[in-house]
A = this chain, B = another copy of it.
Amino acid sequence: MFNINPRSSTPIYMQIVDEVKESILKGILESGDKMPSVRELAKMMIINPNTIQKAYKELERQRVIEKIRGKGTFVSTDYEGKRDESRMDLVKDSFKKGLIELKYMGIREDEIMGIIEELIEEIKGGK
């Protein structure tokens, strides 16, 4: 279902959050689709259900998915992107860190822009 790396420093539940969002952007998951249940996904991924639940809760908080009582979890239908300045700042910060890293490795600016463009293409996926 989702690619998880248990050795990564980013928590498993966050990796799941990211993977779900990426799947939606790529069109693998669509508005209204049923998500696997917490237990189901936990079994499939051999991960503790609590961890999945934490991921789902975060996704719900971000309005990416919706839970319907007793029926399960679904990709939100009414979702619409909202600019969130404070979250934008976090992203910018992480970008800045990455850019410093790259510059420090001696990567040229045009190369950097190329990398970014590649990544953007990758996100679009089969959409």
Contact = CB atoms under 8 A, between A and B. Distances in A.
A87 to B, nearest CB: 7
B99 A120 contact: yes
A104 to B, nearest CB: 6
B96 A119 contact: yes
Nearest to A14: B97
A115 B100 contact: no
A117 B99 CA distance: 10
Please tell me how many copies of the chain the complex holds: 4
A96 B122 contact: yes
A109 B25 CA distance: 14
A123 interface: yes
B100 A18 contact: yes
Nearest to A97: B18
Interface of A: 6-7, 10-12, 18, 21-22, 24-25, 61, 64, 66-69, 71, 80-84, 87-88, 91-107, 109, 112-113, 115-117, 119-120, 122-123
